[in-house]
Homo-oligomer: A and B are copies of this chain.
Amino acid sequence: MDIRQLRYFIAIAEEGQITAAAKRLQMAQPPLSQQLKQMEDELGVALVERIGKRIELTEAGATLYKQALNITHQLEEALTEVKETGDGIRGMLSIGVSALSAYRLPEQIRQYQQHYPLIRYQVWKGDTQLLSDWLEKRTIEVAIVRLPHSLGNCVTIPLEEEPFVLIVPAGSPLSMNNEIAMRDVAQHPLIMPSTPGLGIYEMLTKEFTRLGVSPHVICECPDISLTVSLVAAGVATALIPHSAWETHKNENIHCLMVTGTSVSSSAAIVWHAERHLSKAARHFIEMFAPKTGAPDS
């Protein structure tokens, strides 16, 4: 019993007549009679009652008709679902973000949602090492990280660059100013939005070294919102990407532009170089890193 036969039977049931059903199916009548008989033989059950010229469903036939409708509908829906999944307009998109990039994600997903409303998401947050593991294990398909990263065997597409800003507690003397030189940042207690070994930490440290100063790091905190809270509480100052300031700003902290340095932060979308990327992931990359064009697999 296959789908084709179910469709045949639906036509027969609805037309109430083999000849008409054959016409509707655009086929000759004899093969349809044959198929009907074959179905009855296979099931060992009479599906129709031959009353002279007319034909009428038996109870078993009526049961089969209902079920056949169900099944063919379900199959159709299944196929469109598969097609949509293949086309990337339906399915699961699993994304990993580093702590410093996490704040961007909600807006990105909201935007993506408007174009692809059927997509569902898995969002993971973790440090570079975890992201790398997750990419490897396919827990996530793409990751959004801060550059520089240390992920091996990955395609990296940088998003726009942005400067670092220094955030300080609202009441502190520094909050009178609107900018500060990078080398002067070293004079103030500093929270690093990262930990040793990670890209940002190393990059900032290197920059201070280049300027011949040594920062007064009193805290390392790889969670951006916690970092901001610490600053708001007056614990210290912190260097964070400008956009992170935009999303976390409040009346308890003040922001200073940092001058006299070229270090900047740049987020990037990365994914495993030798892996199949789902259409959904490609769409995501296209939307947020459109200049590069979407990779072709």
A residues whose Cβ falls under 8 Å from a Cβ of B: 1-4, 43-47, 49, 58-60, 63-64, 67-68, 70-71, 74-75, 78-79, 81-83, 85-87, 91-92, 276, 278, 280
Q: Would you give the shortest CB distance from A50 to chain B, in whole angstroms?
A: 10
Q: List 19 A-B contacts (CB under 8 A).
A: A1-B75, A43-B79, A44-B86, A45-B85, A45-B87, A46-B86, A58-B276, A59-B86, A59-B91, A59-B92, A60-B86, A63-B85, A63-B91, A64-B82, A67-B74, A67-B78, A67-B82, A70-B74, A70-B78
Residues on the B chain within 8 Å of A64, using CB: 78, 82
Contacts of A78 in B (CB 8 A): 63-64, 67-68, 70-71
A7 closest partner in B (C-beta) = B2
CA distance A46 to B78 in the complex (A): 15
Chain A contact residues: helix, strand, loop or mixed: helix
With a cutoff of 8 Å between Cβ atoms, the chain B residues found around residue A2 in the complex are: 2-4
Copies of chain A in the complex: 2
Chain B residue numbers with a CB within 8 Å of A59 are 85-86, 91-92, 278, 280
Cα A46 to Cα B64 with chains together (Å): 33
Q: Which residues of B contact A85 (CB under 8 A)?
A: 45, 59-60, 63
Give every chain B residue within 8 A of A60 (Cβ-Cβ): 82-83, 85-86, 91
A70 → B minimal CB distance (Å): 7
Task: Given contacts A45-B86, A63-B91, list 12 more A-B pairs with CB under 8 A.
Answer: A1-B75, A43-B79, A45-B82, A58-B86, A59-B86, A60-B82, A67-B74, A67-B82, A68-B78, A70-B78, A71-B75, A71-B78
Q: How far is the CA of A87 from the CA of B45 in the complex (A)?
A: 7
A191 to B246, CA, bound (A): 95
Chain B residues with CB below 8 A from A83, complex form = 43-45, 60
Q: Which residues does chain B contribute within 8 Å of A81, judged by CB atoms? A: 63, 67
For residue A67, which residues in chain B have a CB less than 8 angstroms away from its CB? 74, 78, 81-82
Contact among B43, B68, B71, B276 with A86 in the assembled complex (CB-CB below 8 Å): B43
CA distance A82 to B66 in the complex (A): 10
| Neighbouring B residues of A3 by C-beta, 8 Å | 1-3
Of A43, A63, A278, most B-chain CB atoms within 10 Å: A63
- Complex interface: chain B residues within 8 A of A280 (CB): 59
Tell me the bound Cα distance from A291 to B13 in angstroms.
37
A40 nearest in chain B by CB position: B86
A1 close to B91 (CB less than 8 A): no
Least Cβ distance of A188 to chain B in Å?
49
